[in-house]
Amino acid sequence: MAEASEVAQPGGSDGPADLPKAELPKLYRAMVLARVVDERCLTLQRQGRIGFYVPLQGQEAAQVGSAWALDPEDWIFPAYRELAVALVRGVPVKLLLDQFIGNSGDVLKGRQMPNHYGYREFRFVTASSPVGTQISQAVGAAMAARWKGEEIVTVTYFGDGTTSSNDFHAGLNFAGVFKAPTIFFCQNNQWAISLPRERQTHSETLAIKATAYGFPGVVVDGTDVHAVFAAVRAARARALAGEGPTLIEAQVYRLGPHSTSDDPRRYRTDAELAKWKEKDPIARLKHELLTASVWTEEEDATLWETTRKEVVAAFESAEATPPVDPLTMFDDVFAERPAGLELQRASFAELLKDGGLKP
């Protein structure tokens, strides 16, 4: 098995609309890695070792399948649940955990709340808490890329609740008018925190909302990695051909809480949860691999064991990483710090040196 940070190797923008059989074990490894990191982070938050986390359990196929269909040059505008997308992009587990902890390995220098990660190197834009803001940003970036002659698309991820936001409607309308090369990827996980999908909108589907803005909306089974991959690959080809955006509704289910601040037992039933657990996307792909004789139970057990050990090791390394240097608060605002800010920095440095304030 590859290292946890190297498991995902997308096939790029060319090739057939369906996944080659040889690729499927790679996608399965990526999904298992996402599930293991997800479970570990939930545990760590409950132990007080990270402050906040937004789980994705049940949405692995939607995220891995969609990310696998993209080109590494495409820009991703996530919400706050796209851990598996980041892993497919190649973001190392240690780097994600550095951000969750907020240590000196965090490229954001502790300035974002936990679970709001972003990495320019991987073309993965920092998430924001307000829902929908990433949609307009993705459309704007897509238009800029087209004007610059770049053959890329932008992809923005969001949930069913976000389809009621102002940014959703403004972003889709603008994209439709100007045929922006953007893919709108809605993970309809049935619950906008505690609000069920049927109370979110009276539309037959969420994808149908694209009709009002003049471009296609597609509904896919978000637990089927093949269906997701094919839909995104087709949407990407359409966008690059100058035909404009596509709204994809991947129907999934959030098996865990909305976030570690949420208790889903207050608003949904055990029977509903049990029904969707039968559609677990990881179990579904594992069954396919076993049936096709390209995977064995022994390989599966080894994969889970090895992945868990790698994630534990990554967290131990992240937890041992020193905290953020407090003096970095004076960085990154000005190309050259003004004299007044230099004085403040020097004064603060003396305070730290004298022990008046502990880092």
pLDDT at residue number 357? 61
Task: Clarify whether residues 88 and 227 are in a common domain.
Answer: yes
pLDDT at residue number 358? 58
Residue 354: domain span: 325-359
Task: Clarify whether residues 249 and 336 are in a common domain.
Answer: no
Q: What is the DSSP string of 18-39?
A: S--GGGHHHHHHHHHHHHHHHH
**Mean pLDDT (the chain, rounded):** 93
Q: What is the DSSP string of 84-127?
A: HHHHHTT--HHHHHHHHHTBTT-TTTT-S-TT---BGGGTBPPP
pLDDT at residue number 286? 98
- Report the alpha-carbon distance of residue 9 to residue 127 in Å, rounded: 23
Task: Clarify whether residues 332 and 288 are in a common domain.
Answer: no
For the cut 90, the answer to whether the pLDDT of residue 216 exceeds it is: yes
- The token duo for 29 is 């490894």
Task: Clarify whether residues 355 and 242 are in a common domain.
Answer: no
Task: Clarify whether residues 156 and 175 are in a common domain.
Answer: yes
- Report the alpha-carbon distance of residue 107 to residue 98 in Å, rounded: 8
- Report the alpha-carbon distance of residue 158 to residue 160 in Å, rounded: 7
pLDDT in tens, 271-326: 999 999 999 999 999 999 999 999 999 999 999 999 999 999 999 999 999 999 99
The number of folded domains in the chain is 2
pLDDT at residue number 6? 41
Read off the pLDDT band of 355 (50, 70, 90): confident
Task: Clarify whether residues 357 and 300 are in a common domain.
Answer: no
pLDDT at residue number 12? 47
Task: Output the pTM of the full model.
Answer: 0.92
Task: Clarify whether residues 52 and 107 are in a common domain.
Answer: yes
For the cut 70, the answer to whether the pLDDT of residue 13 exceeds it is: no
- 154 burial (CB, 10 Å; 0-12 / 13-18 / 19+) is buried
Task: Clarify whether residues 200 and 265 are in a common domain.
Answer: yes
pLDDT at residue number 192? 94
pLDDT in tens, 105-135: 999 999 999 999 999 999 999 999 899 999 9
pLDDT in tens, 38-84: 999 999 999 999 999 999 999 999 999 999 999 999 999 999 999 99
Task: Clarify whether residues 184 and 225 are in a common domain.
Answer: yes
Percentage of the residues of the chain whose pLDDT score is greater than 90: 90
For the cut 90, the answer to whether the pLDDT of residue 14 exceeds it is: no
Active site residue ranges = 254, 258, 267
| Cα torsion angle, 319, 325, 326, 331, sign | negative
pLDDT at residue number 18? 83
Task: Clarify whether residues 148 and 268 are in a common domain.
Answer: yes
For the cut 90, the answer to whether the pLDDT of residue 231 exceeds it is: yes
CATH number at residue 254: 3.40.50.970
Residues in the chain, how many?
Answer: 359
- Report the alpha-carbon distance of residue 105 to residue 95 in Å, rounded: 7
Read off the pLDDT band of 9 (50, 70, 90): very low
Task: Clarify whether residues 208 and 168 are in a common domain.
Answer: yes
- Report the alpha-carbon distance of residue 296 to residue 312 in Å, rounded: 25
pLDDT at residue number 173? 98
Average pLDDT, integer, range 178-201: 96
- Cα-to-chain-centroid distance, residue 301: 26
